[in-house]
Amino acid sequence: MSSRWRRSLVVAGAGLALVLAGCTSTSAPQSASSGMPATGGGVSANEGAAPAVPKPGASKAPAPTAGQPGTTDRKLARSARLDVKTPKLDDLVSQARAIAAGAGGYTGQESTVASSATLSLAVPAEKLDGVLDQLAALGTVTRRELSAQDVTAQVVDTDARLATQRASVERIRALLAKATSVSEIASVESELTDREATLESLEQQQKSLSGSVAMATVALSVTAETAGVPSTSTDDSSGFLGGLAGGWDAFLGFGGGLLTVLGAVAPFAVLIGLPLGLLGWWLRKRRRAGAGEYPPEPVE
């Protein structure tokens, strides 16, 4: 009886062990399956948040390139004015021409009169300061001005418009190659002519801006100064000689003033004196004629 009871306990324990083993094996995959999505879901959430709509201000504009305004590569059109005095006008003008040519520039307009000259010099912009120093050393500087105009925006705008216009011209040329009828060819050629004219105008603007940036202008004004003649005599206003010189100068001044007054009065004296003289002559003549008509009575 006891052995049968033991056998029943063993069988019951084995069955319980099998049941527990089945429960454990069943719950483990569920736990694993339930845990994996949680981890994967967290990754998916993070990955899905990246391509979401960016926050305001999160995206940054690309850094400006060297050709855009606001960078250190500015486009400046430089110019200067220099006024110089010198006792040797022609020599300074020749030296100024040589300085401009030596710097890789040239002389534009030039005007020379008896005692002054003006020159318009064009020199490379990077050599402008050195050229001004050389010109200033040729004489006495009375005026020096230096200015710079920022044309960066104009250069960038012209370059952009030029690229767009070139592409437009190429498109019109492609259309012209595909045109078949006479009316189509005439219409496309007219449009092509207008756009090519605009393209040439933009190219001239670009060339002018590039020239103003590459070359600086110098307006040079030169004035001849006359050397003062030193006095050989001492200016001593005291003593007998000083008084004599002063009196002589006063006499000459008085005589000159008197002659000036007489010269100014002479025309009026002639104008007034001539009629008065004629009137006096006529009165005297009449008086004599009256005395002859009535002779005095004889005394008895």
Q: Is 50 exceeded by the pLDDT of residue 62?
A: no
Q: Give pLDDT, residue 128.
A: 93
More confident residue, 42 or 185: 185
Residues β-bridged to residue 84: 141, 222
Average model confidence (pLDDT) across the chain:
75
Q: Is 80 exceeded by the pLDDT of residue 97?
A: yes
76-150 CATH: 3.30.70
Backbone angles phi, psi at 138, to 5 degrees: -80, -20
Q: Give pLDDT, residue 298.
A: 54
Query: What would the pLDDT profile of 21-42 be if each residue is shown by its tens digit?
Result: 554 444 444 444 444 444 444 4
Q: Give kind and range of the element (H or E) at residue 144.
A: strand 140-150
Q: Is 60 exceeded by the pLDDT of residue 64?
A: no
Q: Give pLDDT, residue 291.
A: 63
Q: Is 90 exceeded by the pLDDT of residue 13?
A: no
CB atoms within 10 A of CB 191: 15
Q: Is 80 exceeded by the pLDDT of residue 79?
A: yes
- What contacts 117, CB < 8 A, 6 or more positions away? 89, 93, 110, 111, 221, 222
Q: Locate the domains of the chain by residue range.
A: 76-150, 153-213
Query: What would the pLDDT profile of 233-269 be if each residue is shown by its tens digit?
Result: 445 556 777 777 778 888 788 778 878 877 887 787 7
Q: Is 60 exceeded by the pLDDT of residue 5?
A: no
Buried b (16+ CB within 10 A) or exposed e, 195-209: beeebeebeebbeeb
Query: What would the pLDDT profile of 99-111 be if each residue is shown by its tens digit?
Result: 999 999 999 889 9
